[in-house]
Amino acid sequence: MIDFNQYKALTFDCYGTLIDWENGILGVLKPLLRVHNTNLDDDQILELFAEFEAELEEGEYIKYREVLKRVVQKFGERFGFESTGNELNLLADSIQHWLPFPDTVEALRALKQKFQLVIISNVDDDLFAFSAKHLEVEFDQIITAEQAKSYKPSLNNFRLAIERIDLPLEQILHVAASVYHDIVTAKSLGLSTVWVNRRADQKGIFTTVAAVSQPDLEVPDLKTLAALSSPK
């Protein structure tokens, strides 16, 4: 168990941690693939998404909207179809409709009473603005890939966040669902970490590349994190 009293700021990954991006992704890609006579199960779709996204984010920086467009293209290249112009934009355009997990908003409201709340997200500013409306709390800082001109797991995104938060590292706690994108890098910089393992009872790597790291705390959801940070 970690001592929450030592922290003044909680930094959060957004998609997969606060926002249910797997259902958002599947809501677009499943019908798109069916149109092109490609039948994959949910796990296959999510694992391919993880593969394609990571590959695109490792290269020279491009906006996340373009990453998502090229992800759609890569599905076509892999399975022998070519997406139309409208289809290429479906993933990015759908982000405005992706909803928080059921426990997210209430947990953020509770945590806001005790901590600064900061977003560190692999997304464009305008795309996160859609999600911010669903999250219903005011964040003290919002750091996007568009601002950093790089994607997590790059050190650059976290360093930018640490600079803006302007607190000692020991007063910042990073909360994320992706070991690959977040936990490994945050710990390498000396940050304490919480792994929100919403898939604890399920197999597969799904929407993130496999990685191994030891977080300071593992929780199944944000409701549990909020309860632990404010014990009765």
Q: What is the largest CA-CA distance in the chain?
A: 57
Judge contact between 145 and 126, C-beta under 8 A. Answer: no
Single out the residue of 110, 115, 123, 117 nearest to residue 21, CA to CA: 123
Residue 176's SS3 state is: strand
Positions annotated as catalytic residues are: 13
Judge contact between 155 and 187, C-beta under 8 A. Answer: no
Tokens matching residue 187: 């710990």
Q: Residues 15, 27, 128, 158: is their CA dihedral positive or negative? A: positive
Residue type, 160: L
Residue type, 167: L
Vertex 225: Cα angle to 219 and 229 (nearest 5): 135
